[in-house]
Amino acid sequence: MTPRPPETSPPANDQRSYGRANHAFFIALLGTAGIYPAVITALVVSTVGYSGLQQLWAPWGDPALRYAAGLSLGSSLASGLLALTMATPCGYVLSRFPRRGTRFLDVLVYLPIVLPGLVIGVALLIFFQTGVGRFIEQHLMTFTFAIKGVILAQTVVATASATRIMKMAFDAVPMRRAQVARTLGATRWQAFWHVELAEARAGLFEAYVLAWATAFGSFGPVVLFCGTTRFRTEILSASVFLEFSIGNLERALAVSLWMGTLTGVVLLIARGLPRKRALW
Amino acid sequence: MVDRDSDNTGHLRLEGVGGQWGRFVLQPVDLDIRPGEYLVLLGPSGCGKTTLMDLVCGLRNPGQGRILCDGFDITHADPAERAIGYVPQDYELFLSRTVRGNLDFSPRMRHEHGPQIAKRLEHTVDMLHLEPLLDRRVDTLSGGERQRVALGRALMAAPKILILDEPVSALPTSLRDGVCRELKALQSRLGITTIHVSHNLDEALSVADRLTIMEIGCVVQTGEPDEILHRPADEFVAEFTRCRNLWPVEIRNGQLKMDAVKEARSLFQDYGSHPDGHYLLVIRPEHIHLSPAPDTARPDLLTGRVQASVRGSHSWMIEVAIGGMLAYACGQKNWAIGEHVQLDLREDKPWLLPA
C-alpha cells in the first residue's frame, strides 16, 4: 500500500466551513449589535420629523423653560459631584471588603436602581416628616419643595449607578498594588489617593458622566419631592411632562430634543477628553 | 544602596511566626536570615511562601510569634516603617505614573527631597540601566524592563531587606538564567539582605547562599544548597530537590541491608552510629554511574535493566529496575531499553532518612 503523503494544510472544504462560520459570526454580531442603535435612531428621527427642526428652538423664548433648562443643568452637575463623592467610598468598600456586611450594602445600593423614581420621591417626603427629617429642615437646611431638594433627589438616584461603576473601577486595580505602595512608605490615605484612585480615574470619570446623565434625566423623585413650581423647582423633564399634560405636544417634543442634544454634546465632549494622562 | 549602612543591618529573625487565614494554616516558622545573605524561599505553589512574606512585609498580621529586624520587634509595625523593599510577582507597577514616577514614588510619599534623593535616583537608574526608559509609560515596557523598574522602585526606598517574590517567573525562560545572574551580582554589590521566593529548584540553586524549603504551611529545612541536596530533612525535601532514589533499607547491628542487593554491606560503609531500624537510603541520580554489567552475575554488584530514559537539557535520566526497586541515574549517555547495566555508587555512605 502506498504511504499517504503528510497533509500540510487542512482540506479545502474545512477551510470553507471555517470561513463560513467566521462570516456568520460577524453577520450575527453586526445584526444584533445594530438593533438597539437602530431603534434609538428611529425614535430620534421620527421625533424630529414630527416636530420639525424649525420648531426646536421655538420654546426658547419662554423664560420659564430657560429657567428649567438652567436648573436642570446646574442641579445635575452638582448632583453628579455629590453622587461621585458618595459613590467613590461606597464602591471602594464594596470592592475591597467583600464580606457579609458589605453584601447587604451591595443590595442596599441597588435599591434606587430597581425602585421606581416616584417611590424614591415619596420616601424622601416621608423621611422629612420624621423627627430626624424635621430637625434637618428646621435647623440645617430646607429640602422639601426647594432647589436643594431637587439636588438631593437627583443625587439619591444618581449615586446608585455611580457606585456600581466605581466598584468595577476599583475591582480592576489589584489590591496588591496598594499594598506595594504601603511597603514603599505610603500611608493608607496616600496609597488610596496616589495608586488606587489614580488608577481608577477612568471609572471616576465614567461614574461622573453616568451620574450626571441620570440626574439630568430624573423625573419621578424630583417631581414628587419638590413639585414643579415654575421659576422655582421646575426642571426640564418636568417641563416635558407639563407640556404633555396640557396637550402641547410640539413644545414637549422640542424640550425633549433639547435634553437629548445637550446630553449628546456633553457625552461627546466627555468621550473626547484624554483619559490616559495622569490627573495627579 | 548608596546611603544604606550595609554593616550589621538587614538581620531578620522570625520566631514562631504563624497563623490561620481561612482554611490555610501556617505552622510556626523559625528563621534567622543573616545580614547580607541571599536566601531563597523554595516550595511548591500554594505552600505559603507569599503568605510568609506578607507577614514579613506587614501586609498580614501573624496569629502568633515575633518578627525582629536588627533586633527591633516589627511584628505589628506599619509596612511603611519596616524598611523592607518588596518586589511582587507581577511587579505591580503604578500604571498612572511613568517609570520616573514609579522610581521616585517612595521618596515622594515620605516627603524626602534634596541632593541625597537625586543621587540615589541617579545611582539606581545607572545601576539598572533605566535611563532610556525614564519617561515611558509603564504599560509600554517589556517584562524584563518592568522587572528592573520594580526592583529600582523598591531600592529607591533604601530598604534594609529586599523581598523578591518569584522575580523571574513572569519572564521568558530564555531570559531567566541571565536575570538571575544579574540579581545575584546586584545583591553581592549592594550587600543587601535578600529573600528570593521561588518554586523553581534550578533558579534557586543559581542564586542562593542558603535555601529554605517549604511544604504546605510549614518550613521543612533551611541550609546551604549542598546540605539541602545531599542531606534532605525528609522525603518531601528529597523529592522536591529531584533526588528520586529513596531506597528502603534496614540497618541491623550497624550493617546496611537491602532486599534488592544480597551483598549490600560491601557497597556501603558501616552505619554503626544509626540505631537498628528501617530507613530510606538517599542517593542523588548524579551520584550513580552506569556501565555495562559483566556477563557473570556477582552478588556484590548492583545491577539492573534499563527501563526508560528521558533526555534533559544537560543529561539523560535513566530509570533502572533492580529487582522490585527502581533506581535513577543521571549521565551523558543514553542506554537502550532492556540493557543490562551495572550501577556504581559515587557515595560510600549515603544519607539515611527514617522510613
Q: Do B94 and A176 touch (CB under 8 A)?
A: no
Tell me how close the Cα of A99 comes to any Cα of chain B, in angstroms. 13
Q: Compute CA B95 distance to the chain's CA centroid, rounded to the nearest angstrom.
A: 31
HEC secondary structure over chain B: CCCCCCCCCCCEEEEEEEEEECCEEEEEEEEEECCCCEEEEECCCCCCHHHHHHHHHCCCCCCEEEEEECCEECCCCCHHHCCEEEECCCCCCCCCCEHHHHHCHHHHHCCCCCHHHHHHHHHHHHHCCCHHHCCCEHHHCCHHHHHHHHHHHHHCCCCCEEEEECCCCCCCHHHHHHHHHHHHHHHHHHCCEEEEEECCHHHHHHHCCEEEEEECCEEEEEECHHHHHHCCCCHHHHHHCCCCEEEEEEEECCEEECCCCCCHHHCCCCCCCCCCEEEEEEECHHHEEEEECCCCCCCCCEEEEEEEEEECCCCEEEEEEECCEEEEEEECCCCCCCCEEEEEECCCCCEEEEC
Q: Do B84 and A176 touch (CB under 8 A)?
A: no
Is residue A185 within 8 angstroms of chain B, CB to CB? yes
Q: Are strands B316-322 and B255-257 parallel, antiparallel or unpaired?
A: unpaired
Question: From CA A47, how far away is CA A52, in angstroms rounded?
Answer: 8
Q: Do A181 and B59 touch (CB under 8 A)?
A: no
B194 within 8 A of B37, measured Cβ to Cβ: yes
pLDDT at residue B276, as a whole number: 87
Closest residue in B to A278 (Cα) is B96
Tens digits of pLDDT across chain A (280 residues): 455 655 556 666 666 788 888 889 999 999 999 999 999 999 988 888 887 777 777 777 888 888 998 999 999 999 999 999 999 999 999 999 877 778 888 888 888 988 888 899 999 999 999 999 999 988 898 898 889 999 999 999 999 999 999 999 999 999 999 999 999 999 999 999 999 999 998 889 899 999 999 999 998 999 999 988 888 888 989 989 888 888 888 888 888 888 888 888 888 887 776 655 554 5
Tell me how close the Cα of A104 comes to any Cα of chain B, in angstroms. 21
Is residue A56 within 8 angstroms of chain B, CB to CB? no
Question: From CA B158, how far away is CA B3, in angstroms rounded?
Answer: 7
What backbone torsions phi and psi does residue A185 show, to the nearest 5 degrees?
105, 5
Tell me how close the Cα of B82 comes to any Cα of chain A, in angstroms. 8
Nearest residue, CB atoms, B79 vs list A183, A201, A279: A183
Is residue A274 within 8 angstroms of chain B, CB to CB? no
Tens digits of pLDDT across chain B (355 residues): 334 444 558 999 999 999 999 999 999 999 999 999 999 999 999 999 999 999 999 999 999 999 999 999 999 999 999 999 999 999 999 999 999 999 999 999 999 988 999 999 999 999 899 999 999 999 999 988 999 999 999 999 999 999 999 998 878 888 888 889 999 999 999 999 999 999 999 999 999 999 999 999 999 999 999 999 999 999 999 999 999 899 888 888 878 887 767 666 667 777 777 888 899 989 999 889 999 988 776 666 788 899 999 998 889 999 999 877 899 999 888 999 999 998 888 877 788 898 8
Closest residue in A to B92 (Cα) is A177
**What does each C-alpha distance from B165 to A91, B67, B188, B195 come to in angstroms?**
30, 19, 18, 8
Nearest residue, CB atoms, A185 vs list B88, B101, B110: B110
Contacts of A195 in chain B (CB under 8 A): 94, 96
From the options 1.10.1200.10, 1.10.3720.10, 1.10.287.3240, 1.10.1040.20, give the CATH code of A66-235: 1.10.3720.10
Question: From CA A170, how far away is CA A91, in angstroms rounded?
Answer: 7
Residue identified by cell 547580607 is B36
Supply the DSSP string of A145-156, one letter for each residue. TSHHHHHHHHHH
Question: From CA A156, how far away is CA A128, in angstroms rounded?
Answer: 14
B62 within 8 A of B75, measured Cβ to Cβ: yes
Residue identified by cell 560510600 is B348
Contacts of B84 in chain A (CB under 8 A): 183
Tell me how close the Cα of A119 comes to any Cα of chain B, in angstroms. 41
pLDDT at residue A13, as a whole number: 65
Q: Are strands B218-223 and B210-215 parallel, antiparallel or unpaired?
A: antiparallel
Tell me how close the Cα of B79 comes to any Cα of chain A, in angstroms. 5
Query: pLDDT tens across B51-99, in order?
Result: 999 999 999 999 999 999 999 999 999 999 999 999 999 999 999 999 9
Structure ipTM: 0.85
Tell me how close the Cα of A5 comes to any Cα of chain B, in angstroms. 30
Residue identified by cell 504546605 is B216
* Residue among B288, B286, B289, B249 nearest B271 (CA): B249
Q: Which residues contact A78 (CB under 8 A, 6 or more apart)?
A: A151
Nearest residue, CB atoms, A183 vs list B57, B101, B156: B57
Q: Which residues contact A39 (CB under 8 A, 6 or more apart)?
A: none
Q: Do B96 and A177 touch (CB under 8 A)?
A: no
Query: pLDDT tens across B94-123, in order?
Result: 999 999 999 999 999 999 988 999 999 999
Nearest residue, CB atoms, A184 vs list B90, B96, B105: B105
pLDDT at residue B69, as a whole number: 94
Contacts of B197 in chain A (CB under 8 A): none
Which residues partner with B25 through β-bridges?
Answer: B20
Question: From CA B47, how far away is CA B30, in angstroms rounded?
Answer: 16
**What does each C-alpha distance from B39 to A140, B154, B225 come to in angstroms?**
63, 18, 10
DSSP 3-state assignment of A280?
coil
Chain B contact residues (CB < 8 Å to A): 57-59, 78-80, 82, 84-86, 88, 90, 92, 94-97, 101, 105-106, 109-110, 137, 153-154, 156-157
Q: Do B97 and A177 touch (CB under 8 A)?
A: no
Tell me how close the Cα of A91 comes to any Cα of chain B, in angstroms. 20
Q: Do A278 and B92 touch (CB under 8 A)?
A: no
Nearest residue, CB atoms, A199 vs list B96, B105, B154: B96
Contacts of A181 in chain B (CB under 8 A): 94, 105, 109
pLDDT at residue B2, as a whole number: 35
Question: From CA B331, how far away is CA B335, in angstroms rounded?
Answer: 10
Q: Do A278 and B59 touch (CB under 8 A)?
A: no
Q: Which residues contact B128 (CB under 8 A, 6 or more apart)?
A: B148, B149, B151, B152
B329 within 8 A of B288, measured Cβ to Cβ: yes
Contacts of B101 in chain A (CB under 8 A): 278
Instruction: Report which residue type is found at B338.
Output: G
- Nearest 5 degrees, angle CA B177-CA B182-CA B186? 150
For each of the domains in chain B, give its residue range(s) and CATH number, in order of start.
12-237 (3.40.50.300), 243-354 (2.40.50.140)
pLDDT at residue B122, as a whole number: 93
Question: From CA A50, how far away is CA B199, in angstroms rounded?
Answer: 71
Residue identified by cell 532514589 is B245
* Residue among B256, B269, B245 nearest B325 (CA): B245
Q: Do B92 and A174 touch (CB under 8 A)?
A: yes
* Residue among B246, B245, B282, B252 nearest B270 (CA): B252
B26 within 8 A of B42, measured Cβ to Cβ: no
Q: Do B110 and A183 touch (CB under 8 A)?
A: no
Is residue A194 within 8 angstroms of chain B, CB to CB? yes
**What does each C-alpha distance from B124 to A36, B21, B145, B215, B252 come to in angstroms?**
55, 37, 14, 36, 61
- Look up residue B121 and give its three cell numbers: 535616583
Q: Do A177 and B94 touch (CB under 8 A)?
A: yes
* Residue among B320, B318, B319 nearest B334 (CA): B318
Sign of dihedral through CA atoms A32, A34, A37, A43? negative
Question: From CA B268, how far away is CA B270, in angstroms rounded?
Answer: 7
pLDDT at residue A166, as a whole number: 96
Q: Do B96 and A201 touch (CB under 8 A)?
A: yes
